Structure formats: structure tokens, C-alpha cells
Amino acid sequence: MKNVILLYPALLITSLNAHTQTNSEVYQQETSVVTASRYPQSQDEVIPSVTVIDRSDILRLQANSIFDILSLQQGIDIARNGGTGSATSVFMRGTNSNHVLVLIDGMRVGSSFTGSFTWEHVPVSQIERIEIVRGSRVSYYGADAMGGVINIITRSQDNLYARYTGGSFDTHNFDFGFGGSGKTSRYSVVLGSQKTDGFSATNENNFFSYDPDKDGYENQSINLKYSNKTNNGQFKINLLHSQADSDFDTGNSDSIERVARMSWDNTIFNDWASELSLGNNYNQLDTLISSSYYQSNRLNLDWIINKQINNSHISYGLTYRSEKADFDNLNAPEVSFSDSRNNWALFSNWQSVYESHTLELSARYDNNSVYGSNLSADVAMARELNQNNTLNFSVGSAFHAPSINELFSPNFQDFVVSPITGESVFAFSFEGNPDLKPEESINYEIGLNSNISNTQNLNLNVFYYKIDQLIDFQGPTFKPINIKEATIKGFEAAYSYQKNGLAININATIQDAKNSMTDSALLRRPDNKLNFSVDKTFNSLSIGSSMKYASKNPDFGTELDGYTVVDLRASYRVSNHWKIGVKFENATDKEYQIINGYNTPKSSGYLTIEWQQ
């Protein structure tokens, strides 16, 4: 492994030598970001730490899952119970996995029942770009945006294309799309299919459910988009539907995820930009082995208006959200239940630029039918030190709402059939607590954004979180109560270089996430992380590699060893229509664990063939 790490500087020097043979420069096109403040901004104008991953980045990585993309980003830790399609949790800046707000095309998603988002069922074939905003955004989006926001923007296909990826674990992924436009309208259709036989998700460390069989996964998805412009505005409708079948050692589960949103954009009053949107998020999970079934349905109505007035930008918003969750257990009908809640909110944000200073203020009032009202606010400032360097500071309050399951679930016990003995084995018990309060936090951040040159950029950020009323699960029924406290402090650094077909991306995270009451580390969040990617394009040929390092990882009852994983990739454009790519994941066949008792992929290879009109 040491030789592999030493290879990286050599590869970098070789690439730099190749690049110095010419003096031409690649000037980066200004990137627009909508997630940070809920209206389009240049990325240079955004004060919080932001990463934009576009379609070209996803294709360059030859990503087979969103795990391949997010695991390379600073400030993000990912825990996955096995291979593709296994349950996946995303932690941002050391906060809990349910402290990350997930959007699809700007629409809040995730289960109202569990309070979590099923990352494992997001088809990479349907992703156009991902915007990651770090730090509290609760004053913009409401509950759960404590650690940050990740907005997944789906594909808008303009022409006909087809792609196939096949390889290890008997993997076969297909996606196909087409689109077009008329004088005022535009449409897009993308179809996707994933199938893999996988590998055994668990190992001998998993005393409860270890079974050395293969755990496969299938996913079918469709993404539809339509828009139409008139003299009065623009109407848009988006639909993403995916249906998945996941194997695990004690059984199988079927799931459905659907996100639908329609919006009307126009101008009102004195040239105020207005967006009125109505969205629906439905998800369903059916687990046969435990005879359990749940579904949740969320309806979201948003109205946002904004306007640029001289050197200031101001926006106002009104939101109504209705959530309903149903749970059925055929083995114990008495614990089946159905509950709902609704939330309405008012929010406003204001940004003003004066000479070398930028000031941003935002506030939001939420009123929930179950847990009452919350007021959240953010203050951010930025100062240009010179033409290339900007110093920023922000402070914000945030909260995370308990899920419907945590609030209302009746006391019940669940049993599964052991794959070893064939006997019914106690799995867990759980009891909701209707007196739960939202978790609350305050966070501070100071950062430096340095545009070293037209081809180089450096970002440095220091952050601190104090979280109160954290939910802990205690007693024989694991009843949730507001008792824990946590403090998180950390440092992030990200460097990028792009010139003459050479792209280098390096980022590092140092964090200390602790339970304040016990002074113990929060689980599955390594203290140190380093990611390194380098890609070089020679006319039609592109070669690249990524390295991921994570330090020791605390988990239940143990501490997992650190690891370094290296991926290799290459692609070749055969013609204007055809392109082929190869990728080797975990090229050194490193054995490691992210979660105790669960396997990670060994060395594997994939071939991709793509055709486009």
C-alpha cells in the first residue's frame, strides 16, 4: 500500500511535466448555484462552503453509485451496510445522518416515517449535478438542514443516447434517454436499470445475521421532464420514480421512491421574480422477512419571490408541508399505526454588497402541528482581502425534527428468522415518545476562499457545532428521549487545479465529533480524511485515479482500522458518437470495514460503452 501512495506524487509530476509543454490555459466558466440561498447565484458570490458536481465529473469518475461521488468530498462520511443497494447513511461535518437535508430538484425528500433518506436507491444515471452546501441552512429550508444541504438535480436530456456498464459481481447497468424542444417547450425522458448479484454484505463479525451468500440488488427508474414558456412565464414539471429490490442476509425488501414537482415561474409586482411550486414525495418499504410495511407521503407547497435592488438582493418565502406515515406489521397488527402532521413557515433572506464587504441575513419561523414553533436565523459576512482572496464568517441556529416513528410508534418487538438455525430470533423493540422535542444547535464557521489563479482554487474552513437535546434511545424498549449533547469541531481544505487537460482535486477533513456527556467519539465518523483525484486528457484518451484515506473509525463496541483505497480509470472517445471506459475499483484489493460486521467491495472492474446522437 505504501508503494501505491508513493506512486501518486510521481503521477502528479509526470502529468505536470506533460502540461508544461504548452502555455494555453483553460478558463473556468462561472458556475451558478441555486441551493445556497434558493435563488441563482454565482458560486463566487456564495458565502458558505459549496461544492458543485456536474455531469462531466460523474462521467469522469465512471460512478456506479452515489457512494462513489460523495465519498470523495470533504466534510462527508458515508456508512454502507455492504455493496450496491445496501442501507447507506451520509454524515456531514460530523453531524448525524438525519441532520443532512436532501433535495431532489429543489424538493424536500426522505421518509416522514423514519426521518431518513434512502441514498442507496438514487440512480446515478438520473443525476445531472449535485450541489453540496455545508453548514446550517435551516433558516432557508426548515428542519433538518443542520449539517448542510445536498440538492440532487436530475437529468435534462437534449438528444438520443444509450449507455451500458458491465463487470464484477455480474453487474449490468443500462440507461437510455432522449429529449427535444420546440419553439416554447422542452421535454426529456431518461430510463435506467441496475442489476448486480453483489457479494455477501456481512462477515463473521456480524454475530446476528451472518450468512455468506450473495446479496444482490435491482433498480429500475424513469425521469420525466417537461417545460413550456409563455409570454407570462414558464411552467415546469419533473417526475423521478425508482423501484428497487434489495437482498440482505436475513431476507429481501422492495422499495418505491417517487418525487414529483411542478412549478410556475414568472414576474409579479414591480419585476419581482416569483416561483410557485407544488411537490409530492412518496416512499414505500416492504420487508417480507419481518412482515412489515411502511409508506410515507409528503405534500409541499412553496412560494418564493426575490428581487435585486441596487446592491442588495432580498427574497421572501411561504411554505406549507403536510406529512403522513403508515406502518403495518402482519405479525403484530396491534402495533400498526397511521399518523400525520403539518408545518407552515415564513422566511426571508437579504444579501447586500458594499465595496469589498458582503453581508447576508436570513430568518425563518416554523410552526408544526405536533412539536410547536421554532425560530431560526443565520448571519454571514464576507470581506475581500484583495482581488483573489475572500475571508468569510457565519453563525447560525438550526433544529432537527423527530420522525413520526420516533413520536408515535406503539411499543412492539420484532423477530426475524435466523439464516443459520432457521429459528425465530428477537431482533429489536421500539416505543415512540410523543413528548419528544426537536434537537437544536448553533454553529460557527470561518473560511478563506482563494482564487490563486485562473486555474487554481483553494478553500479553507474551520467550523464548530454545539448540539443540544439530542435524541438518545434508552430502556428495554429503546424509547427515544432528549438527553444527549454533542460538540463538533473541524477543519476542511480543498484544492483544485485545471489546465491543459490536467485536473487535480485534493481535499482533507480533520474533525472531532464527541458526545459531550461521555466525552466519547460519535460513531462512524473518522477523525481524519484525505481524498486525491487526478485526471489527464490526451485528445481522445483520458486516464485518471482517485485515492481515499480514512483514519480509524469508531463503531459499536469496537474501533475499526483506517484504510486507503485506490481506484483507476480510463476512457477513450472512439468517434463523435461512441465512447468506451474502464474502471478498476479498490485496485490494491484492500480489505477494510466502514461498519463493523459488514463487507466492502474487493478489487473489481467495469467496462462502460456509451453512444450518443
User: What SS3 string covers 561-588?
Assistant: CCEEEEEEEEEEECCCCEEEEEEEECCC
Residues whose CB falls within 8 Å of the CB of residue 97, separated by 6 or more in sequence, listed in order: 79, 89, 90, 91, 116
H or E stretch covering 472 = strand 456-474
> Does 100 reside within a domain?
no
> Does 288 reside within a domain?
yes
C-beta atoms surrounding 533 within 10 Å: 21
Q: Which pLDDT belongs to residue 552? A: 96
100's grid cell: 443532512
> Does 231 reside within a domain?
yes
249 has pLDDT over 90: no
> Does 76 reside within a domain?
no
CA distance 257 to 567: 30
Average pLDDT over residues 490-505: 96
* Residue with the three cell numbers 441596487: 310
Confidence label for 288 from pLDDT (cuts 50, 70 and 90): confident
User: What SS3 string covers 412-436?
Assistant: EEEEEECCCCCCEEEEEEECCCCCC
Confidence label for 45 from pLDDT (cuts 50, 70 and 90): confident
- State pTM to two decimals: 0.92
> Does 125 reside within a domain?
no
Q: Identify which has the larger pLDDT, 335 or 534.
A: 534
Strand partners of residue 246: 217, 253
Question: What would the pLDDT profile of 417-471 be if each residue is shown by its tens digit?
Answer: 555 555 555 455 678 999 999 999 999 999 999 999 999 999 999 999 999 999 9
Q: Which pLDDT belongs to residue 423? A: 58
CA distance 554 to 523: 5
194 half-sphere exposure, CB direction, 13 A CA radius: 25
Q: How many domains is the chain partitioned into structurally?
A: 1
What is the domain extent for residue 574?
2-28+157-612
Q: Characterize the bridge pairing of strands 541-550 and 553-555.
A: unpaired
CA distance 433 to 346: 28
Average pLDDT over residues 282-303: 89
Question: What would the pLDDT profile of 50-94 be if each residue is shown by its tens digit?
Answer: 999 999 999 999 999 999 999 999 999 999 999 999 999 999 999
Question: What would the pLDDT profile of 84-99 be if each residue is shown by its tens digit?
Answer: 999 999 999 999 999 9
Burial code (b: 16+ CB inside 10 Å, e: under 16) for 142-181 equals: bbbbbbbbbbbbbbbbbeebebebbbbbebebbbbbbbee
Phi-psi region of 171 (alpha: psi -120 to 50; beta: other; left: phi over 0): beta
For residue 453, the 8-state DSSP code is S
330's grid cell: 402482519
Angle, CA 517 vertex, CA 511 and CA 518 arms, to 5°: 75
Residues whose CB falls within 8 Å of the CB of residue 158, separated by 6 or more in sequence, listed in order: 179, 180, 181, 188
Sign of CA dihedral 223, 43, 550, 537: positive
Residues whose CB falls within 8 Å of the CB of residue 47, separated by 6 or more in sequence, listed in order: 36, 358, 360, 380, 381, 382, 392, 394
CA distance 401 to 373: 11
> Does 126 reside within a domain?
no
Distance set, CA 48 to CA 54, 239, 459 (Å): 19, 30, 11
Mean pLDDT rounded to a whole number for the chain: 90
Average pLDDT over residues 255-262: 97
> Does 332 reside within a domain?
yes
CA distance 32 to 411: 48
Let me know: does 425 contact 416? Beta carbons within 8 Å.
yes
Of 93, 29, 17, 85, the C-alpha closest to 247 is 85
Which CATH number covers residue 289? 2.40.170.20
Confidence label for 409 from pLDDT (cuts 50, 70 and 90): confident
CA distance 206 to 349: 49
Burial code (b: 16+ CB inside 10 Å, e: under 16) for 348-378 equals: bbebebeeeebbbbbbbbbebebbeebebbb
Confidence label for 25 from pLDDT (cuts 50, 70 and 90): very low
505 has pLDDT over 70: yes
Helix (H, G, I), strand (E, B) or coil at 288: helix
Q: Which pLDDT belongs to residue 333? A: 78
- At residue 304, what is the residue type? I
Q: Which pLDDT belongs to residue 428? A: 56
Q: Which pLDDT belongs to residue 3? A: 42
Confidence label for 248 from pLDDT (cuts 50, 70 and 90): confident
Phi, then psi, of 11 in degrees rounded to 5: -65, -40
For residue 121, the 8-state DSSP code is G
Q: Which pLDDT belongs to residue 205? A: 85
Share of the chain above pLDDT 90, in %: 81
13 has pLDDT over 60: no
Average pLDDT over residues 172-192: 96
Phi, then psi, of 424 in degrees rounded to 5: -75, 125
> Does 10 reside within a domain?
yes
304's grid cell: 418564493
CA distance 171 to 168: 6
Q: Which pLDDT belongs to residue 513? A: 96
Question: What would the pLDDT profile of 562-575 be if each residue is shown by its tens digit?
Answer: 999 999 999 999 99
Q: Characterize the bridge pairing of strands 553-555 and 528-538.
A: unpaired
